Structure 1
Amino acid sequence: MGYVTRIVIIGGGPGGYEAALVAAQLGAEVTVVDCDGLGGASVLTDCVPSKTLIATAEVMTNFDSSYEELGIRVEDSTHDPDDPARVVGVDLGKVNRRVKRLALAQSHDIAASVTRAGVRVLRGRGRVEPGQGPGGSREVVVTPTGDGSSGAGGTSAQPAAEERLTADAVLVATGGHPREIPDAQPDGERILNWKQLYDLEELPEELIVVGSGVTGAEFAGAYRALGSDVTLVSSRDRVLPGEDPDAAAVLEDVFRRRGMNVMSRSRAASAKRVGDRVEVALQDGRTITGSHCLVAVGAVPNTSGMGLEEAGVRLKESGHIWTDKVSRTSAPGIYAAGDCTGVFALASVAAMQGRIAMYHVLGETVTALNLKAVSANVFTDPEIATVGYSQADVDSGRMDAWSVKLPLLRNPRAKMQGIRDGFVKLFCRPGTGIVVGGVVVAPRASELIHPISVAVDNNLTVGQIANTFTVYPSLTGSIGEVARQLHTRKTAEDA
């Protein structure tokens, strides 16, 4: 482990708390400085809450879309026979109370794990002082938040006054916050960002979602499933412009079939309250109205006011921290992990960056971050899961690969479950048949992507996947079938 023993981590999200656990296990003296509660936005206001809400929406969608085909009889006298698509309703207040309860419980669990490991947790905001001390040490100044609370996790100690910490290494893992449109400022009642949605007690009658990236698409799909009339405003040609185009096309078709108003090539200029309504003005002069508006136009890194540039940390034009593949910044002794780096806005990547940083700091064997092994998921219905090289990489010539796409409609298990939308797509190298990427569009695609991730990470071939048993009937059978088709093509090319 060498001489490095004192670690200060600023930020208690996945990048911070995972790094703290690793460093503590390796014998370091670890202090986490956190102002919101352990777990960070991922647990308290972002990933865990949104996926909990989506879980409720998913149950409703699955029942609504398949109960008749599966032969389920509904004998509820309150059911409107003229509206067969809406058999069940939702108590949004109850849903949101459950969302916040589960998020807080998860934060408590993380805090308990961290403190059991011997990590000191301070509630406050951290600032890195310029320059280095003897032996290259760094100094972090912790300022109390001033609210007197102990944080959402409930186990942190708030310093009574400003406290100075000396560290042999500092990890910055401060995450990000919702980006705002200057003329569409959230008020927490009718104009909302994604952090404020969980305070709603009643389901929005007409929800306008500004932004068709991952966050916008997930919430638009969820609230449509819960019963809101949803208008999705997309500045691009299609929803999810950063995802596989075939996958995005399937999702947009599903959205439209379920009654969502998808407005492509429409950029929002402003949003304002007009009584109990919201007016959203588009840049082309059109105006749309709804009862509520969700602004989901990306995130801004939490890097300002921390003394980073004065300490020698290079920031990108976007405000994100530049890091190398072992999480080092441009300043000696300072590392960074998570959304504040702009690498991938995924909790799994943040956690890996944090762990890599600690392994590197403490002299352990370390493997550089490999983004091509990262699996990601969009929690819409159907879900979209990806790993490795993409269709865009193939189309642009960055990767020479073959691909085969197999619709789930041909899968026997999908037929049994009433699944009509989705597909499995694999990419492999022409000469070797090594799997270099994949896309799954399906219910629980987040689970189905794992065997493809294993293949990508371990350089497995389509032949190896094709010759591996799959359960019959199962959705994973489609992964085996796609691999067989690619293997047959390779065999024919080699002959």
Structure 2
Amino acid sequence: MTRVVIVGGGPGGYEAALVAAQLGAEVCVVDRDGLGGSAVLTDCVPSKTLVATAEVINQVRESGELGVRIGRSAPDSGDVSDVSTDIAKVNARVKALAHNQSEDVGRALQREGVRVVRGSGRMAGPDRVAVTLADGGTEELAADVVLLATGARPRILPDAEPDGERILTWDQVYELDELPERLVVVGSGVTGAEFAGAYNALGSDVVLVSSRDRVLPTEDADAATVIEDVFTRRGMTVLSRSRAERVERRGDGVVVTLTDGRVVEGTHCLLAVGSIPNTADLGLETAGVATDERGFIEVDKVSRTTARGVYAAGDCTGVLMLASVAAMQGRIAMAHALGDAVSPLDLEEVAATVFTAPEIATVGWSQHDLDSGRVQAVGIKLPLTRNPRAKMQGIHDGFIKLMCRPGTGIVVGGVVVAPHASELIHPVSVAVSCRLTVDQLAHAFTVYPSLSGSIAEAARRLHVRGQQAPRKDS
């Protein structure tokens, strides 16, 4: 029986453990911080639970045109203003759900016969893992296959040390008992934008410090523009082309000093300036595992490291820091190591979502890839304001963008900006993964009325017969 030792109990680790056990291996997971890892305990599950509350508040506040009246909202008002948040109750729910999800992971591993060892693991060679046990003592585990899935942690600025009270990382915000009166969010990437939008909805006065000329600089430019416009309309202050130099605690508040000398004051500051891998003190050199200049473990498309029999998955590899990618890397690693059928990781098939309101979901090649000539494709963008279901629901922001190969009509990418875009992207993801044509996508029935109807409509607009270069509607 093949002995598999997995260091790290996050998505990359526990998904790999389940696959390895199902393939007949003897599996042991070394877990330090809690099963589910940061994705379940401090990142994805908690943040999206917080976002779910914010989403409801946004819907209620903007439901005046649907005839909804709450409290003191004026009869002729388009907005409902008398909505408040109990942040202590919100955070209690967030932590309870994260704990429950972690327990669910533990039960799944137990059902498959996976042994879980509580402690910190490090490589003692290419075929051994030394564990410092959580309850004291040590244990050395022999392994035919090792998977490293140790994740990453929030990056800290040199002059912005978190104190867990006023200066916070994203895994510390759930300890707040009171809603920040004025929250300064440093960083306008995915994490910063999600938290800025959520706290703005919850009732905080939010200032978003963005070092680039727009929020979400790595996302589709049209989508990012929609989100920034929505942020501004909802009362958020966005400081573009601004970089934080220093964050200081002053009494019951914080002072954020920008590199151009400007000062932004607030009651709290949230740092969202990226992540660094948890790869120090793992004994990587001892095992012959190489890292890049940033400390991320180098892997190939089947998750192999430079050491024979040693694989790595998840944020510690820096490949694409998504829970879904971590899980896929872990599953691919075990399939490869244990001789099962395996398909190498294809990043062009990854579906990703930014959980702002509205959400941004993407898959496949991007608009930037088209515009730069990296891929030969044509595309179309349909605003949701034309969609009947969107009109019924009072949706005013968002669009569907679809891209395909000229001539063949094979779908190569898509962008959805809409409420629950994370759900709507799936048919586009299936089309990209299965190399469906726009005709095949268009011929599948959609419900009328539905937001997904706009996906079929976009596919019809890209019908291959006689196609030259469809215009980009706006």
Q: Which amino acid aligns with 2:225?
A: A
Equivalent position SS for 1:212: coil
Q: Which residue of 2 aligns with 1:73?
A: 69
- 2:408, 2:79 → 1: CA distance? 51
Distance 1:82 1:202, change over 3 A: farther
Report the number of matched residues: 469
Q: Which residue of 2 aligns with 1:341?
A: 317
Q: In structure 2, which of residues 417, 429, 444 is the aligned counterpart of residue 468 of structure 1?
A: 444
Spell out, residue by residue over 1:278-297, the C-alpha distance to the aligned partner (whole angstroms, 9 max, x if none). 00000111110000000000
Alignment of 1:92-491 (within 5 A): 92-130=87-125, 132=126, 138-145=127-134, 148=135, 160-487=136-463, 490-491=465-466
Normalized against structure 1, the TM-score is what? Answer: 0.93
Structure 2: unaligned runs, 5 residues or longer: 470-474
Tell me if structure 1 keeps the 8 A contact 2:60–2:80.
no
- 1:83, 1:246 → 2: CA distance? 26
Deviation of the 1:109 alpha carbon: 0.8
Q: Which residue of 1 aligns with 2:40?
A: 43
Tell me if structure 2 keeps the 8 A contact 1:188–1:196.
yes
Tell me if structure 1 keeps the 8 A contact 2:65–2:78.
no
State the identity %: 66
Tell me if structure 2 keeps the 8 A contact 1:383–1:446.
yes
- 1:85, 1:229 → 2: CA distance? 18
Q: Which residue of 1 aligns with 2:16?
A: 19
- 2:395, 2:447 → 1: CA distance? 18
- 2:54, 2:47 → 1: CA distance? 11
Equivalent position SS for 2:66: coil
Deviation of the 1:309 alpha carbon: 2.3
Distance 1:241 1:114, change over 3 A: same
Equivalent position SS for 2:217: coil
| 2:49 paired with 1:52 | yes
Distance 1:238 1:423, change over 3 A: same
Spell out, residue by residue over 1:375-431, the C-alpha distance to the aligned partner (whole angstroms, 9 max, x if none). 000000000000000011111111011010000001000000000000000010012
Q: Which residue of 2 aligns with 1:157?
A: none
- 1:202, 1:82 → 2: CA distance? 29
Deviation of the 1:492 alpha carbon: 3.9
Distance 1:120 1:79, change over 3 A: farther
Spell out, residue by residue over 1:135-186, the C-alpha distance to the aligned partner (whole angstroms, 9 max, x if none). xxx01100124xx4xxxxxxxxxxx411101000100000000000010010
| 2:85 paired with 1:90 | yes
Distance 1:87 1:79, change over 3 A: farther
- 1:125, 1:454 → 2: CA distance? 39
- 1:84, 1:461 → 2: CA distance? 42
- 1:307, 1:129 → 2: CA distance? 6
Normalized against structure 2, the TM-score is what? Answer: 0.97
- 1:423, 1:29 → 2: CA distance? 48
Tell me if structure 2 keeps the 8 A contact 1:79–1:87.
no
Distance 1:81 1:35, change over 3 A: farther
Q: Which amino acid aligns with 1:64?
A: R
- 2:448, 2:278 → 1: CA distance? 48
| 2:11 paired with 1:9 | no
Structure 1: unaligned runs, 5 residues or longer: 133-137, 149-159
- 2:284, 2:75 → 1: CA distance? 60
Distance 1:77 1:63, change over 3 A: closer
Distance 1:373 1:170, change over 3 A: same
Tell me if structure 1 keeps the 8 A contact 2:407–2:467.
no
Deviation of the 1:84 alpha carbon: 5.0
Tell me if structure 1 keeps the 8 A contact 2:62–2:79.
no
Q: Which residue of 1 aligns with 2:472?
A: none
- 2:272, 2:221 → 1: CA distance? 21
Which of structure 1's runs of 4+ aligned residues deviate more than 4 A?
Answer: 77-85
Tell me if structure 1 keeps the 8 A contact 2:404–2:412.
yes
- 1:321, 1:253 → 2: CA distance? 38
- 1:278, 1:79 → 2: CA distance? 36
Q: RMSD of the TM alignment (CA)?
A: 1.6
Deviation of the 1:493 alpha carbon: 3.3
Equivalent position SS for 2:84: coil
Distance 1:424 1:77, change over 3 A: closer
Q: Which residue of 2 aligns with 1:30?
A: 27
Q: Which amino acid aligns with 2:123?
A: V
Q: Which residue of 2 aligns with 1:155?
A: none
Deviation of the 1:80 alpha carbon: 12
